[in-house]
């Protein structure tokens, strides 16, 4: 299997949107708990203790929702995340070729998991969340996408069914 993608890049704004959607998906249960608790406390008669609890939970809810908006992508992310690049994928390695001539190469065994969304893949290198972004539009053909899916499934990084 030899797959070569088209050139692509991601802008800081697109990366922020991606991280924000992942952040909210991961914290969905906590946010629902905060919202339910605030709703329940508003049904109760008002007293000092309940009012302070409401204020704390509203503060935590708002800070949980807005935290990713304060991330400065250009300062917190590696410069290579925003460079134009293309990937070469074979049975053992993924090679990322950047526009400045630099190269990043890693083995499939170093991947922790892969997530396929409608428009992109996220290939995780650590459980803590370091990932590589690969848009589906970067593939040359549907056949390459299908081969890559089957290969990831064979490496037990994603489940197709």
Within-domain flag for 35: yes
pLDDT (average), residues 40-50: 71
pTM of the predicted protein model: 0.72
DSSP bridge pairs for 87: 96
Looking at every residue in the chain, the average pLDDT score rounds to: 82
The whole domain housing 96 covers 1-154
pLDDT (average), residues 48-55: 73
pLDDT of residue 105: 92
- The answer to which of 12-26, 45-59, 98-112, 138-152 has the lowest mean pLDDT is 45-59
* Number of domains comprising the chain: 1
For 7, residues 6+ apart whose C-beta sits below 8 A from its C-beta are: 84, 85, 86, 99, 138
Q: Which two tokens stand for residue 139?
A: 């593939």
Q: Is the pLDDT of residue 27 over 80?
A: no
Within-domain flag for 63: yes
* 8/47: higher pLDDT: 8
CATH number at residue 111: 2.30.29.30
Residues of the chain with pLDDT > 90, as a percent, come to: 25
For 147, residues 6+ apart whose C-beta sits below 8 A from its C-beta are: 1, 3
Within-domain flag for 76: yes
- The answer to which of 1-15, 48-62, 111-125, 136-150 has the lowest mean pLDDT is 48-62
Phi first, then psi: give them for residue 5, nearest 5 degrees.
-90, 170
């Amino acid at each position: 299997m030899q797959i070569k993608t088209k050139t692509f890049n991601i802008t800081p704004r697109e990366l922020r949107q991606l991280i924000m959607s992942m952040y909210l998906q991961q914290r969905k249960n906590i946010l629902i708990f905060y919202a339910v608790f605030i709703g329940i406390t508003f049904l109760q008669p008002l007293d000092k203790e309940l009012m302070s609890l409401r204020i704390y939970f509203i503060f935590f809810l708002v800070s949980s929702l807005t935290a990713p908006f304060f991330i400065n992508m250009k300062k917190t992310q590696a410069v290579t995340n925003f460079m134009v690049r293309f990937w070469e994928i074979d049975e053992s390695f993924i090679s990322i070729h950047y526009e400045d001539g630099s190269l990043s190469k890693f083995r499939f065994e170093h991947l922790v998991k892969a997530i396929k969304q409608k428009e992109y893949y996220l290939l995780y290198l650590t459980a803590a969340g370091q990932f590589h972004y690969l848009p589906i539009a970067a593939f040359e053909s549907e056949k390459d996408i299908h081969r890559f899916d089957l290969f990831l499934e064979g490496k037990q990084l994603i489940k197709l069914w």
